[in-house]
Amino acid sequence: MKMIKIFLLIIPSLFQSCTNEAIIEDHSEPAATNISLSKRIESYDLWYIDYNATEGSGNIPFITRAFTISFLNGALYTNNNLAGIGSTGNGFGTRVGAYNYNSNSIRVFHDVYGTFELQISQLTKNKIRLYDPFRKVSYYLIGYQRSNFDYDKLFNDNIHYFLQEYKAWEKVYTSRIGALNDFDKENFIQFLAGGTDKHFRSSKDSPRTNVNNIYWDFTGLYSISNNLNPYTKKLTLDYDFWGNESFTLSVINDHRIRLFHNTSGTTYEFEGRGFIEYLRLTVSKAKTDVEK
């Protein structure tokens, strides 16, 4: 078994980004007047879900599997993916259902998960609590306008989710500059979702192999850490029989990344194969603070 350690360096994203727990100052909040529930909820383009504040052991899947929620004239939108965040649905994300109001609650009709009756408490001008009395769980949401929501920081703080949004990453370019190294033989990488979010697989299968037919030669652990540059990350892949591999990762676009091999000086480019649109049947995300 191999173990890889890869340091990935991320170029400032070319597309706007989604989060580990994002808290963004909203300087354009509506005035704190006695307005209707619908006007209050729909006064903000996006509601960011502060997962660290969640209370209770229950689970509302369409909330725990999203970065943001938007309530737009009866249509429910969520940002579930990092690929395309900030541009998908004009920043609102994907339409996933509908909703209507009762006196102090909102009834959600989700296309996948069904109906939810959620009680709403206003805590501040741009912060609300959603409580599900049936599932005994409370979520805290913070309202933002698209103009002051930092999609890029949300993306950078959650880069591991972006890597998981493709069934495989295929090597499509290797530079002529750089010393020969063991990683030259690796043609596919997969970052596995679920569990601890720390496992990856690699394969030496021939280029253009169908993603569903790839034979994965190795399964190991990886980790991602911050770099001094706020727009970069370090990813370490552990190959246990040939040692560590260290890379600098640049995000070229929503489906292409560049890896610079720090030891050999070789540059690789990988393209995502088999995009996974999360409506979303996997574990919930951990979030980090995001400020614009």
Distance CA 290, CA 242 (A): 37
For the chain, what are the domain ranges? 37-155, 158-275
Residue 17 pLDDT: 43
Common-topology check for domains 37-155 and 158-275: yes
Tally of CB atoms within 10 A around 34:
5
Rounded to two decimals, what is the model's pTM?
0.77
Token pair in block for residue 238: 């552990």
Residue 9 pLDDT: 37
Residue 242 pLDDT: 75
Token pair in block for residue 16: 């706007």
Residue 18 pLDDT: 43
Residue 290 pLDDT: 52
Ranges of the chain with pLDDT below 50: 1-33, 279-286
Architecture of domain 37-155: Beta Barrel (2.40)
Residue 12 pLDDT: 41
Nearest to 262 by CA among 3, 11, 2, 9: 9
SS3 (DSSP) at 150? coil
Residue 31 pLDDT: 42
SS3 (DSSP) at 161? helix
Residue 37 pLDDT: 87
Tell me the CATH number for domain 158-275: 2.40.128
pLDDT tens per residue across span 105-161: 999 999 999 999 999 999 999 999 999 999 999 999 999 999 999 998 888 888 888
Residue 36 pLDDT: 83
Residue 225 pLDDT: 80
DSSP-assigned letters across all residues of 25-90: --SSPPP-----HHHHHTTSSEEEE-GGG-BSS---HHHHT-SEEEEETTEEEEE--STTTTTGGG
